[in-house]
Structure formats: structure tokens, C-alpha cells
Amino acid sequence: MKFKSLSVAATLAIGGYLLASSQVEARTMIQNKGSDTLVNVAQAWAEAYQKIKPEVAVAVTGGGSGTGIAAMINGTVDLANSSRAMKDKEINEAKKNGIIPIEHLVGYDALAIFVHKDNPMKSITVKQLADIYGDDGPATKWSDLGLKVPGCKGDKIIVVSRQNNSGTYVYFQEAVLGEKRDFRLGTKDMHGSKDVVDLVEKTPCAIGYSGLAYDSPHVKKPPVAKDDKSTPVEANMDNAVARTYPIARPLFMYTKGEPAGDVKAYLDWIKSDEGQCIIMDKGYAPVRPVKCAKK
């Protein structure tokens, strides 16, 4: 009898193990990769969604918009985060792989300009940014802009940028320099947006750009004017939505064809008030007016 009881107990234990194993195996994993601008909010979305649907896990990694799009083209991710629209050559490459990329607008961002907190700059124009960042641009010293920056020995502008696989890099090039104009040689190309702001904070001579969500009280964020005749506009959420800020951009997620199942449900939730309130909380602008619960 003891042997029989032991067998029943063992059977129940094995059955429980198999049930637990089947539940683990039934868990859906959504692979999400790309833009460093979006990585923080993408992680926040993933964490919040898991509380709503514990059976769905979203694995988030950064690496840049180009990296995410390449992974989507190769079929290794379900969602590619991008702070720029896909290029024609990327779309054509995807089609060669039998993939029709579908673009999903998930928010807006203002690409802020950052200088050291002691920099006396009150505002800057898009042309002045092009003069600083563009190949053969005439502004190489702060005195070229009529500024004397405390603590900046030698007066030389230290130009801080992003790596060329970044959607932020590509968007800045198109919106500020013009698509066919290259960045000047000698820029300090940082891997992530946070790295840009950290370097500017520690470097009196520096200027940098990154997504608005990486704003810090330890750096200065001068308003930007479209041209000499325009009023400088502050980089903030309201101006990004209104598109009055000269360097505001849409933020995207791309899927391999029309999304279905858990991926579609996740995207629908991201576009819902709950998901859009999370992107607002992270310093970005929603795709539409939303009502958020008070904290």
C-alpha cells in the first residue's frame, strides 16, 4: 500500500510539473528591438503590459533604429522601434525577403539641443546648427556665434553627435543639415542619447542633441528658431504635438506585415489611453489627446 501511495503522489507531482511546464511553454514572447530614443518607453510599455497580460512577455533591446529595422527585415523581431521613417532601400530589401513592412505611429518627440549649463546661449537657429554640425560649416568656435562660454578653453566648439545607425542621427541630418549634406569631421559620436547629455553636462565647450526624454536639469536646453525671422520655440511636449518646434518628429514601430494575435493586441494597447499616458510620462508626446489617471 505504501508503494501504491508513493506512486500516486509521484504521479500527481509529475502531473503538476507537466502542467507548470506547459504553462511556461504557452507563454508568448514578443521580440522588440531598435531605437535608443524609444528604448526607455518601450521598456516601460513592456513592464506595464506584463501586469495586464502575464502570459505575454515583451523582450526589449536598443541598438538604434537601423539595427531594429534590419532585424525586422531579417525576420528576427516582431516589432522594430524607429525614430525615423524606413528608407526606400530598406523597404525594397524587406520585400526581397517576402516582408511587407507596416508602419505604426506610436508618439512624437522633440529633438532637443543641449549645451553646458554655463553657456550664455539664449536661443539658436536651424541654420546656426547646420553651421556647427555640417561638413565645412563656418561655425567652429563659440565666438563665431558671438558667445563667450565660461570654462571653455580655446573657444573651440566640441560637436557631440550620435552614431550613424541611430534614427536620431538620420533625422537630425535630414531636418537640420539637409539629406545630402554630411556631418563635419571630428564630431564625438556617442552610442546612446543619455551619453550625449552626460558628455555635454561635463564639457563647457560642448553642444549636443538627443530626444526630449533625455532632458536633464544639469544641462541647458536653448529654444530653437526655424530661421532669423522666426520666434525661438522651446522643446517640449506641447510644441512637439503642435509641430511648432522646428525639430519635432514622429516615432514609429514597424511590423512584418499587418500585425495579428498578441502583437496586434500589444500595439492596440500602446495606442490606447493607457499606453499613450505612459509615453507622456516618459517625456514624449502622444499621438492624440488622451485622458490620464492622476498619480
Q: Above 50 in pLDDT, residue 189?
A: yes
Question: For residue 291, is it within any domain?
Answer: no
Q: Band the pLDDT of 8: cuts 50, 70, 90.
A: very low
Three cell numbers written together for 68:
531594429
Residues 87, 172: one domain? no
Question: For residue 23, is it within any domain?
Answer: yes
Residues 154, 97: one domain? no
pLDDT value at residue 14 = 46
Q: Band the pLDDT of 295: cuts 50, 70, 90.
A: low
Contact 111, 247 (CB under 8 A): yes
Residues 230, 276: one domain? no
Residues 255, 174: one domain? no
The β-bridge relationship of strands 219-220 and 158-162 is unpaired
pLDDT value at residue 15 = 45
Residues 169, 136: one domain? yes
With a CB cutoff of 8 Å and minimum separation 6, the contacts of 144 are 131, 138, 157
Residues 186, 273: one domain? no
Q: Mean pLDDT, to the nearest integer, of 34-56?
A: 96
Q: 182 or 3: which carries more pLDDT confidence?
A: 182
Residues 49, 17: one domain? yes
Residues 244, 115: one domain? yes
Ordered DSSP codes for the chain: -HHHHHHHHHHHHHHHHHHHHHHHHT-EEEEEEE-HHHHHHHHHHHHHHHHH-TTEEEEEEEE-HHHHHHHHHTT--SEEEESSPPPHHHHHHHHHTT--EEEEEEEEEEEEEEEETT-----EEHHHHHHHHBTT-S--BGGGGT---TT-TT-B-EEEEE-TT-HHHHHHIIIII-TTPPBPTT-EEESSHHHHHHHHHH-TTEEEEEEGGG--TTEE---EESSTTSPPB--SHHHHHHT-STTEEEEEEEEESS--HHHHHHHHHHHSHHHHHHHHHTT-B-SS-------
pLDDT digits over 71-97, tens only? 999 999 999 999 999 999 999 999 999
Question: For residue 82, is it within any domain?
Answer: yes
Question: For residue 77, is it within any domain?
Answer: yes
pLDDT digits over 206-233, tens only? 999 998 888 999 999 999 999 999 999 9
Question: For residue 292, is it within any domain?
Answer: no
Look up the CATH number of the domain holding residue 65. 3.40.190.10
Question: For residue 181, is it within any domain?
Answer: yes
pLDDT value at residue 294 = 73
Contact 162, 190 (CB under 8 A): yes
Whether the model clears a pTM of 0.75, i.e. scores above it, the answer is no
What is the C-alpha to C-alpha distance for residues 175 and 249, in angstroms, rounded to an integer? 9
What is the C-alpha to C-alpha distance for residues 252 and 241, in angstroms, rounded to an integer? 15
The β-bridge relationship of strands 101-116 and 206-211 is antiparallel
Three cell numbers written together for 45:
510599455
Q: Which domain holds residue 243?
A: 109-248
Half-sphere exposure (CA, 13 Å, Cβ side) for 252? 22
Q: 12 or 132: which carries more pLDDT confidence?
A: 132
Question: For residue 83, is it within any domain?
Answer: yes
Residues 11, 138: one domain? no
Phi, psi of 52, rounded to the nearest 5 degrees: -85, -45
Residues 184, 234: one domain? yes
User: What is the end-to-end Cα distance of the chain in Å, rounded?
Assistant: 61
Residues 38, 138: one domain? no
Domain count, the chain: 2
Residues 134, 21: one domain? no
Q: 115 - beta bridge partners?
A: 207, 220
Question: For residue 178, is it within any domain?
Answer: yes
Half-sphere exposure (CA, 13 Å, Cβ side) for 276? 18
pLDDT value at residue 212 = 85
Q: Above 70 in pLDDT, residue 134?
A: yes
